[in-house]
Amino acid sequence: MLVVVVGLGGRGMVAEFFDGSAVQFWSTVLVSIVIQALPFLVLGVLISGAIAALVPPGWLARALPRQDALAVPAAGLAGAALPGCECASVPIAARLRANGVSPAAAFAFMLAAPAINPVVLVSTAVAFPGRPEMVLARFLASLLTSITVGLIWSRVGREAWMTRARSRVVEGDSRWAAFTETARQDFLQAGGWLVVGAMAAATLQVAVPRSVVQQLAGHQLLSALCLGLLAVVLAICSEADAFVAASLRQFSLSARLVFLVVGPAVDIKLVAMQTGVFGRRFAARFAPLTFAVAVICALLVGRWLL
């Protein structure tokens, strides 16, 4: 409260500092990303809270097949049922882990949910009128990415990398208390890191003008990598990225598919949130793995379908 009062007094001074066009652009992008992500983050922590309050520990793990080879695809497909974007799925995946679901399956869910749910597929269809194969290709490539990353993780992933995930048990005397307390704490944790991600994305948008990217449109493989990196940098909500992809018309459909598959799986804001929720050592390994798998899956599916 005090901060706000003092701040209002110094408003003139602060506004002067922010008058530069670049700083203004930076702050508009920062505020926009946070505002846009907020409803979906709230949805995510409510679901997380509901799992903590209503689902007995270990129940979800028993509901899924015992072996990762089956549980991972099942969890990936289950992602289709969550009508949100990527900000919702990080706290939910952490809660699934805390409930006893194997990490590989939880991560497959986390990667698949923001990419293959009906809302995202419908926006893709709207953004690419007359090209239903784009919707199908996006669905298949994203599902394939999530399953592949999940299976690789079940082979090589280490529990020790997730330095933060183990302390996530919230005790409550009643279900209602467990629900509200879990949702509130998850919101504070993921929300703070969402701001870190939004700051990084805003900084990159200021530093790298979008026109730079267009120069690389000609080269097949290079342009695919380039759009993959653009997806990481822009940190666009998965429900809106199809519209941006549709307008990148100098690029081949395959390259634009890479943009659509990488974006919901790994972008700068997601890496920040995963660092905060799972730990730095986890994010440092998970993000490059996901990026590589997403690019390869998108190129393979693109070659086949587009």
Of residues 153-212, those binding other proteins (CB under 8 A): 164, 167-171, 177, 180-181, 183-185, 187-189, 191-193, 195-196, 198-199, 201-202, 205, 209-211
Q: Which of 117, 123, 142, 254 binds other proteins (CB under 8 A)?
A: 123
The reply to whether 282 sits near other proteins by the rule CB under 8 A is no
- Nearest-approach distance from CB 76 to other proteins, in angstroms: 23
User: Is 296 exposed, middle or buried (CB count within 10 Å of its CB: 0-12, 13-18, 19+)?
Assistant: middle
Look at residue 82 and give its three-state secondary structure.
Answer: coil
The reply to whether 122 sits near other proteins by the rule CB under 8 A is yes
- Nearest-approach distance from CB 63 to other proteins, in angstroms: 25
- Pick out residues in 47-66 that bind other proteins (CB under 8 A): none
For other proteins, the closer CB: 156 or 174: 174
- Nearest-approach distance from CB 1 to other proteins, in angstroms: 9
Is residue 147 within 8 Å of 117, Cβ to Cβ?
Answer: no
Which amino acid is present at 21? S
For other proteins, the closer CB: 38 or 289: 38
- Nearest-approach distance from CB 127 to other proteins, in angstroms: 6
Burial of 164-197, coded b for 16+ CB within 10 Å and e otherwise, reads bbeebebeeeeeeebbbbbbebbbebbbebbbbb
- Pick out residues in 210-269 that bind other proteins (CB under 8 A): 210-211, 214, 234-237, 239-241, 243-244, 246-247, 249-250
**Contact partners, residue 18, CB within 8 Å, separation at least 6:** 24, 27
The reply to whether 32 sits near other proteins by the rule CB under 8 A is yes
Query: Rounded to an integer, what distance in angstroms lies between the CA atom of residue 47 and that of residue 86?
Result: 14
Stretch that binds other proteins, among 36-44, 104-112, 149-157, 287-295 (CB under 8 A): 36-44
The reply to whether 5 sits near other proteins by the rule CB under 8 A is no
Query: Rounded to an integer, what distance in angstroms lies between the CA atom of residue 95 and that of residue 100?
Result: 9
The reply to whether 306 sits near other proteins by the rule CB under 8 A is no
User: Is 45 exposed, middle or buried (CB count within 10 Å of its CB: 0-12, 13-18, 19+)?
Assistant: buried
How far, in whole angstroms, is CA 135 from its chain's centroid?
19
- Nearest-approach distance from CB 72 to other proteins, in angstroms: 28
Binding residues for other proteins, total number by CB under 8 A: 81
The reply to whether 38 sits near other proteins by the rule CB under 8 A is yes
Is residue 123 within 8 Å of 242, Cβ to Cβ?
Answer: yes
How far, in whole angstroms, is CA 123 from its chain's centroid?
17
Residue tagged 């659509």 (tokens): 260
Pair of tokens at residue 145: 């990415």
For other proteins, the closer CB: 71 or 183: 183
- Nearest-approach distance from CB 243 to other proteins, in angstroms: 4
Which amino acid is present at 66? R
Stretch that binds other proteins, among 60-68, 103-111, 124-132, 283-291 (CB under 8 A): 124-132
